[in-house]
Chains A and B, each alone.
Chain A
Amino acid sequence: MESFTQQKVQRYEEFVDRRLKPDLQRAIDERDKVFEQQKIFADLRRNIENLEKNSVTSLRTLVNLGSEVYLQAEVPNTQYIFVDVGLGFNVEFTWSEALNYIQNREERIAKQIDEYNQSIASIKAQIKLVLEGIRELLQLPAEKSLPERSF
């Protein structure tokens, strides 16, 4: 019996280590990526709102050529802004259109984050379940004896 429980315990532990924990790791990574996206779009929105507020028509920036070597660049007309909508496409927007799009985008991202949160939570719950099962298996002999002693 002892060896049988030992075997089971080992199998449960292996299951946790090999399936559940990597799954958890992967889910967390994907969620982080989506977090980043969310941050990017949030920054963009803030910047566009700033530009609109100050009615900036042209601006000067420093463009990174690579390895932190910057070159001055001038944007004469900030009327149109090209936004990356995924799959390599950049769509020409005006300010308000851009803001609109960014808002929609942000909502979608928030939904994705929710989904990832749920899956992470379920994986964590599964891990906890298996661990509890292992604990039960190990404690079972002890538990049985306790009630007898109480008498």
Chain B
Amino acid sequence: MEETRRGTVTSLASLFPVGEAQKAANRVQYAIAEKRAELDRLLGFIDDNNNLINLVHKLPEELSHDIMVPFGKAAFFPGRLIHTNEFLVLLGEGYYAERTSKQTTEILKRRGKGLDSQLDSLEAMIKDLQAEAMFFGQTIAEAAEGLVEIREDYIEDSHKGETKSGPLKQDAPDLEKAKPDDEYARMLSRMDELEKEELAAESGGDNGKNEQTTEDVDDISYQRPVDNEPRNSEDFHKGAPPVDQANNKSMATKSVEKHCNPDIADQLNFASLDLQSNVREGKNAAKKVKFVDHIEKPLVHHEEKQVKAATASKSEVQHQPSQPSFDSHKAFTGSIVEHTENIKTSNGQSSTSSQVSGSQPSKPVSRFKMQRR
């Protein structure tokens, strides 16, 4: 059952072309430099203000001071400062206020506070710009390394994996019952083992059976980190061999397929479908991921994140599927009520009880369905 791989592989370099990212980084650096200059100016103002406060405070100590009185820009007169307690302060827009030394210091202190708040806002802006610059620097480095962003669509297959039940089912309730932390630890250890196996067998690289199913699994697992935490996926990519990671992973999963029993894969799908019938929509994906983690190896770090997401949703979901899973133990297929009824009705049919014959006319239809399955 070979299927063409759905989805896109985009290299980070195409998303963020190195040249443009460099230009953006330069622009941000330029903005940072500008802001720094502003910062220095502000600091100068604050210094001046403080000096002035000291001066205004000290002047009234003497009746008059001998000074050189400037006359224009290029000439001085020797003279005296008089009325040393009367200061004329510019309030703005050509308005002045005549104030004493104490009042002037208060005015200047208020001005200083305004300057300080300006300084704080400038510093915050500089921090933001620096964070931006760091991000650009990172993307440039990553794009230069040739990282790829892999996006694959998740497709629900309803007709797959109806073949077997069994041990995997038992795994399911166990997992649900187990506490999230224990499960997480167990999964991690299991994944480590599987990873070793996979690395040993990676040279084989045959297309395993049920590629479709693993693909689905891959889809979910890849989709999660791409959607939620692109950074983490990039980190993970850094850890993995840089050469065509998408293919590596698919090959790895295929090789794992080879090693693991085909049963397991089927059971995996089966269990996932089982859950699918129980839980709807988004939580489906989380559950599937959870089971994938348990079995599939190469998605190590992804699983960590997904497990976290999964455990969150899982705790919600735990209550719901507990009952249906018990039902699934009794029934053979994924769906719950219908099948048990069918079994009963089929038994009833064989015994030809009047009650059974008197019940709904849909009986023969469901029996055929059962036979088909």
Residue positions of A touching B, CB distance < 8 A: 40-41, 43-44, 47, 61-63, 65-78, 80-84, 90, 98
Contact = CB atoms under 8 A, between A and B. Distances in A.
Given A69-B90, A69-B104, A61 B69 contact: yes
B75 A65 contact: no
18 contacts: A44-B71, A66-B51, A66-B55, A69-B89, A71-B59, A71-B86, A72-B81, A72-B83, A73-B69, A73-B80, A74-B80, A75-B69, A75-B78, A76-B80, A82-B78, A84-B74, A84-B75, A98-B75
Nearest to B76: A82
A80 B78 CA distance: 8
B67 interface: yes
A39 to B, nearest CB: 9
A73 B74 contact: no
Given A43-B72, A63-B81, A66-B52, 4 more contacts: A40-B73, A70-B88, A81-B75, A98-B75
Interface string B287-306: 00000000000000000000
Given A62-B88, A73-B80, A40 B55 contact: no
B48 to A, nearest CB: 6
Contact of A75 (B73, B79, B87, B90): B79
B78 A66 contact: no
A10 to B, nearest CB: 21
Contact of B82 (A67, A70, A72): A72
Most buried by B among A65, A68, A70, A77: A65
A67 B48 contact: yes
A69 B107 CA distance: 11
Interface string B54-72: 0110010000000111111
A98 B78 CA distance: 15
B84 interface: yes
Given A76-B80, A82-B68, A69 B87 contact: yes
Contacts of B67: 63, 73
Nearest to A43: B72
B49 interface: yes
A74 B52 contact: no
Given A74-B79, A83-B74, A84-B74, A68 B69 contact: no
Contacts of B104: 69
B77 interface: yes
A81 B76 CA distance: 6
Given A69-B56, A70-B87, A71-B86, A82 B75 contact: yes
Contacts of A65: 52, 55-56, 87
A2 B49 CA distance: 64
B84 A71 contact: yes
Contact of A44 (B48, B72, B78): B72
A41 B74 contact: yes
Those 6 A-B pairs whose CB atoms lie nearest each other, nearest first: A68-B90, A75-B79, A70-B88, A82-B76, A84-B74, A75-B77
Interface string B73-117: 111111111111011111000001000000010001001000000
A62 B49 CA distance: 19
Contacts of B75: 44, 81-84, 98
Nearest to A86: B74
Interface in B157-191: none
A78 B90 contact: no
Interface in B304-334: none
A73 B82 contact: yes
Nearest to A92: B78
Contact of B74 (A40, A61, A62, A78): A40
B84 A76 contact: no
A63 B59 CA distance: 13
Contacts of A82: 68, 75-78
A66 B74 contact: no
Given A40-B73, A90-B76, A71 B51 contact: no
Nearest to B73: A40
Contacts of A47: 71-72
A34 B165 CA distance: 96
Most buried by B among A65, A68, A69, A83: A69
B56 A63 contact: no
A41 B49 CA distance: 31
Contacts of B49: 67
A43 B71 CA distance: 10
